[in-house]
A and B are shown apart, each in its own frame.
Chain A
Amino acid sequence: MSEERPQTSSSPPEEEFHLGPGRPLLTILSILAVIGLAGLGFGALLGAEVDVVPFVPERGPDRVTGGGLGALPGAGGTIPSLLADLHQVQTSPPPSTPGSPGEASPIGDPEDQPGGRLERFGPNDEGALVVPDGWAVVARSEDLITLGTGDGVRFGARIVRATPATPATQLVTEAQARIVASSAAAHVRTSDVLPLQAFGSLVTRSTVGYSALRTDAQGVSSVGGNIFAFVRIDGLALVVTAEVTPGAHWTARTEEWLPLWESVVSIFAGAPLPA
């Protein structure tokens, strides 16, 4: 068929731009290489490793830890009475069969409690915390409550059924696997799991610190946080997560979530935090 091939009937069109055979591939790959190098440069310029150190609120001598809810901003002298009310129902002695809905609301109207608003959570309202000004409940489901400040600090608390023999380190490890799960987070850095001294009606408690890039198809978020687990003598457990975005701000913003942490732990343990 070669003799049937057409002869050129006119000169090739004037072409202001043409890549020629084999050139599109090289052109595209060259441009992508430059773009990839730009990404490498951004990483080199902006990259920073974050040390992950778990935050242990009552560990340092300079922490104000002398009484759990008493440390709440604006608590004044009225928070201890709220704590005393809670003690009567929840921890004196600790309920052997916690969670009956009928025994869950000894405090009356949850609105306008001193130091903030009291919110209950858990399948049978076994957990409670005082929400200070500046915080809002952003989501809740059967066993948990999630709160946020709207500017990068989040706090979650979940009630879990366990046994008094369940080590808190196990709950922390399980929660860590879920909260910074490999299926939804990357660049995960965690501290060692630290067992902490129990107090009040707690039999065991533990914590771990983490930082991660949490991602899905829509975007990515750099986070730093702590997971705490507390197991009570009646077998009920509380798992708490405090988290800050971006993760590099974690240490600087501890004071913002600490009042929530102190209230939920004190109420759950039925006793002030140890000094």
Chain B
Amino acid sequence: MANEYRWALIVGGTVPLLLAVVGVLGPAIMIAAFLLPVTFLVYAHDVELWEERPALTLAAVYLVVAAGASLVSLVAFRWMGEDAFAGLLFANAGHGALTGSPTGALILFGVALPVASEIVRQVGPVILARLPAFDDMIDGFTFGVASGAAYAAFETVVAFGAVFTVGLHSADAPTTWVVVILNLMIVKPVIYGAATGMAVAAFSGRGEGYDGFTPAYFGTLGLAIAANVAYWLGVRLLAGAPFGQALALLWGAVIAAVLVVRARVVLQAALLEAAVEDAARNARPRWATTDLAYCPECENALLPDALFCIVCGASVRATSIAARRHIREPAAPDSEGER
């Protein structure tokens, strides 16, 4: 299964870069913005996240996030802050650089907007995580990731809306657009998704029910907000420097990498909580193995009733329906070949 998604990301990620190189900016921006949210949506269906009700649940998350992201972004980039943002770019374009950047606009786009957007991203997932059906840590984490990735997509469409007003073809500055699209396609959604996911996971917490607005939640939310502010303030301050776009991409990649490491720790804790809870309830999850089967990731044998591979740590729950069916119902030797 993993190969399916790897190829989807590779092919889906290459297309907008090629489109940017030849100057077809509108489709490039759109595909880059939605690559991770769409992949996550399909993955959520595939692994039966959220109590086997992925379509409705994901639609609810995306609708709330789409409304919030569009509203906040329209206010920031169009209705109130269009001139301020243009002024920042004007300053960066040799009319001030760091020392000459408008302070108010810098605070608006480097601090206020990241803070507001992180708070908006929390709303939908936190509401869902209060429902008894979705009060597990894994639910909170994945709601947060979905919210962050979707917010990044809708914010990108609004903030880059001007690319649709200059005609279909522009062969200028392909390098600039490749760097920008890498940022939009990978760095921004990863930062938003990981930061929001960790915070909502802290809201869900472990144990029965959800933890709610505890000091641990506010602490993690503070970290998420700090990561967002660090990212955008860094982008804004680096934008006027030589090779500023590339430096901003590197800066974002560093923050994304740190968040991903933390998010993986949270994800592991969330998966373990779900597995232990299932074991304690003496329930047999539908994704548990039934007999000798093989890990879809590393192809080592899975123990009976395994929820994790003891070799590579892959969660059986995090594999697709198709892979799980393969675990439970292996192909015949003549079609699969000898192992």
Contacts and interface: CB of A to CB of B under 8 A. Distances in A.
Interface in A237-254: 241, 243, 245-246, 248
B290 A6 contact: yes
Given A20-B322, A43-B26, A214 B89 contact: yes
B99 A141 contact: yes
Contacts of A16: 52
B328 A28 contact: no
Interface stretch (B63-71, B214-222, B238-246): B238-246
Contacts of A203: none
Given A6-B291, A43-B168, A156-B95, A184 B28 contact: no
A246 B86 CA distance: 9
B333 interface: yes
A238 B86 CA distance: 23
Contacts of B159: 218-220
A216 B244 contact: yes
Interface residues of A, number: 85
Nearest to A176: B94
Given A32-B34, A182-B176, A183-B176, 15 more contacts: A5-B292, A9-B291, A28-B38, A40-B26, A42-B164, A44-B168, A45-B164, A48-B166, A154-B87, A187-B167, A214-B93, A221-B85, A221-B86, A245-B86, A248-B165
15 contacts: A2-B338, A9-B328, A19-B322, A24-B43, A36-B19, A50-B166, A139-B100, A156-B90, A179-B95, A184-B93, A216-B180, A218-B85, A218-B235, A223-B90, A246-B162
Interface of A: 1-2, 4-10, 12-13, 15-25, 27-29, 31-32, 35-40, 42-50, 138-142, 144, 146, 148-152, 154, 156, 158, 175, 178-188, 213-223, 241, 243, 245-246, 248
Interface of B: 1, 4-5, 7-8, 11-12, 15-16, 19, 24-31, 34-35, 38-39, 42-43, 45-46, 52, 54-55, 77, 82-83, 85-87, 89-97, 99-105, 109, 159-168, 170, 172-173, 175-177, 179-180, 183-184, 187-188, 232, 235-236, 239, 243-245, 248-249, 252, 286, 290-293, 320-322, 325, 328-330, 333, 338-339
